[in-house]
Amino acid sequence: MNEKMKQVAHRVRELREVLDMTTLEVAHLAGIREDLYCDYENANIEITVSDLYSIAAAFQIDPTALLTGETPKMNSYTIVRNGQGEDLERHQGYMFSSLAANYTGRDMEPMLVYLKNDVKDVEIVQHNGQEFNYVLQGTIRVNIGAKTFELNQGDSIYFNSSIKHSQQAVTPTAVFLAVINEISAKNRG
């Protein structure tokens, strides 16, 4: 696990303690198993992106606070210059750069995702809401449920992200824009 992910795990534990919550309470609110939450908090395994967002929602904070240790400050616009996004390497061969980390109360999470095709175990995820992927470089394989699609530069896909899905590079490297809109049960009424 890289150092940045260890810092995220430390912030999760620290915030839970400050909020005087039990691991069971946070896990329940985040919709994950308590043993999995404890593994995340103790940096035994890397926190998945979808679970990080669920944990942030359980704490009622912006996920940026867990990723960076800072609270977003912009509420009318934010500009991210080329190469200046908030980077996070999830694991070898998978890194993303958040393109709106400093915008508070955002409804969407735009990010650039960088993939290498040397990853053996592709992470399968699911989260509330919808997701849009637009391939900027290379070719990616997108698995959604039992369906598989190959997307080349300039291709895009929009899908229900509550269906289990994954993306992997087919070419040696691939880059795609992902825009995630996590619609929570609260937002649906």
Look at the chain and count its residues.
189
Pairing between strand 139-144 and 147-152?
antiparallel
One-letter amino acid of 136: L
Q: Which of 51-55, 73-77, 119-123 has the lowest mean pLDDT?
A: 119-123
Residue 170: what are its φ and ψ, rounded to 5°? -95, -45
182 CB-contact burial (10 Å; exposed 0-12 / middle 13-18 / buried 19+): buried
What is the spatial distance between Cα 96 and Cα 99, in angstroms, rounded to a whole number? 9
Instruction: Give the right CATH number for 3-68 from 2.60.120.260, 3.40.50.800, 1.10.357.10, 1.10.260.40.
Output: 1.10.260.40
Please report which helix (H) or strand (E) contains residue 147, including its range: strand 147-152
Tell me the mean pLDDT in the region 132-156: 97
pLDDT band at 186 (very low <50, low <70, confident <90, very high): very low
In tens, the pLDDT along 72-119 reads 888 899 999 999 988 877 767 888 899 998 898 888 989 999 999 987
> What's the predicted TM-score (pTM) here?
0.79
Residue ranges covered by each domain of the chain? 3-68, 86-181
CATH architecture assignment, domain 86-181: Sandwich (2.60)
What is the spatial distance between Cα 14 and Cα 12, in angstroms, rounded to a whole number? 6
57: Cα separation from own chain's centroid: 13
Q: Is the pLDDT of residue 188 over 60?
A: no
Q: For residue 122, what are its two tokens?
A: 């592709």
> Could you give the C-alpha distances from 181 to 33, 93, 94, in angstroms and in order?
24, 24, 20
